[in-house]
Amino acid sequence: MAELIIHPDKITDPAAAMKLCPFGAIVDEAGQLTITAACRMCRLCVRKGPAGAFELREDASPAAGADIGSWHGIAVYVEHEGGKIHPVTLELLGKARELARKSPQPVYALFIGAGSRQAATALLEYGPDEVFVYDHPELTHFRIEPYAAAGADFITRVRPAIILVGGTTVGRSLAPRLAARFRTGLTADCTALDIQPDGGLAQIRPAFGGNIMAHIMTPKRRPQFATVRYKIFPLSEPEARPSGKVTVLPVKPEFLSSAITVLEVKPKPAVNGIEEAEVIVAAGRGLKKAEDLAMIRELAALLHGEVASTRSLIEAGWVDPRRQIGLSGRTVKPRLLIACGISGAIQFVAGMKGSETVIAINSDPEAPIFRTAHYALVGDLYQIVPELINRIKADGAAAFISSGAGVP
């Protein structure tokens, strides 16, 4: 882990030294300069400060440098609830197999829970070479301390070079804790993954508000962690004759120590979400007022679909936040998506790029959404949407969808 060291004997002007940091991380505490948690490790103080005043010091932990060669394999954390495996796990297993073909190495699955042995056997159909199981009654419900302890034990034993975790509530809690234990990097909400011949994982995600696609590498640390949202990758296809095996690892008593006690679990009421919808009609900033959502809802109802929106309408309070598509919302892969008045910012596109057919309606012929859409309707959505509604009422929803989405 890198850290900045201040050598006060090299600093003659403390006030000038404090101004070196654009984040205000260099402060004067009781007459002594210190580095606060606001530090971004930009190293500007090292480059621009007095010679020798600031030093970037990196440790030589066991996970770094020459030890990288001893890490091998791609592991997928198995997300589950009540014995039911979350589909994001199957998507990640498919991606892991794809990466393993580019840089030959085994694919592992890590299954932590109670009664997980039988489910682990069923998981072999999706291609892992080995499923490692931590099975104990006290692992029935997710608690961060026991799950992190079991995960750390797995990493220490198996030493996988790459670990993929679903970008779920559980995954976003577990992955950072494990990455911190091994003092390694973690890239959250990746939209693409690739692998180098040497096993280095290219973790790709939008950055700086979606203005660039960042390619993030972890060249000096292992394992390499990445979280990926549900619906980003295609679902893994089961194998007719799986050849993997299940290995049950011991759950040591010290693993189960936790400050959390689960008193009761109350499942949320089931709601119709946009993640599983076959048809979605999404509205954007082109909508003039909240009342105009009525025609969007009518179009969605005629197509037996769901209504969604961009972030702008969520912030305006017009649409339920659970219906937002994009990096800060949900990821969807419908059979048909109709984008009404949406410009096509990268944050939105990242959440719907897996859609089978996209119809975009926008009055701006240069709108970025048209680079993603299969069908581009340039014009006023207040004229086009009512016309689509009339056509569907006349011809039926099935005809509209099956005949190239009904677009001439």
Mean per-residue pLDDT pooled into runs of 10, the chain (408 residues): 83 91 89 86 89 80 59 95 88 94 94 87 90 93 94 96 94 94 92 88 81 84 93 84 90 91 83 84 92 93 92 92 87 92 88 90 93 92 92 76 54
Identify the CA nearest to 161 among candidates 100, 247, 204, 222: 222
| Strands, E assignment, 331-399 | 336-340, 357-362, 375-378
Pick the CATH number of 65-256 from 3.60.20.30, 3.40.50.620, 3.40.50.2000, 3.40.50.1980: 3.40.50.620
Cα 174 to Cα 163: distance, rounded to the nearest angstrom: 12
Q: Where in the chain is the domain with CATH 3.30.70.20?
A: 2-58
Q: Name 364's Cβ contacts closer than 8 Å, sequence gap at least 6.
A: 343, 378
Q: Are 245 and 121 in contact (CB under 8 A)?
A: no
The first and second tokens of residue 330, run together, are 């949900």
Mean pLDDT of the chain: 88
Cα 277 to Cα 264: distance, rounded to the nearest angstrom: 31
What pLDDT does residue 65 have?
Answer: 38
Pick the CATH number of 2-58 from 3.40.50.11540, 3.30.750.24, 3.40.50.300, 3.30.70.20: 3.30.70.20
Q: Where in the chain is the domain with CATH 3.40.50.1220?
A: 279-406
What pLDDT does residue 62 have?
Answer: 46
What pLDDT does residue 405 have?
Answer: 52
Q: What is the pTM of this model?
A: 0.75
Tell me how far CA of residue 106 lies from CA of 100, 225, 240, in angstroms.
7, 16, 19
CATH architecture of 279-406: 3-Layer(aba) Sandwich (3.40)
The first and second tokens of residue 269, run together, are 């009421």
What pLDDT does residue 357 have?
Answer: 92
Q: Where in the chain is the domain with CATH 3.40.50.620?
A: 65-256
Cα 121 to Cα 107: distance, rounded to the nearest angstrom: 15
Cα 226 to Cα 215: distance, rounded to the nearest angstrom: 12
Angle formed by the axes of helices 169-181 and 144-158, nearest 10°: 50
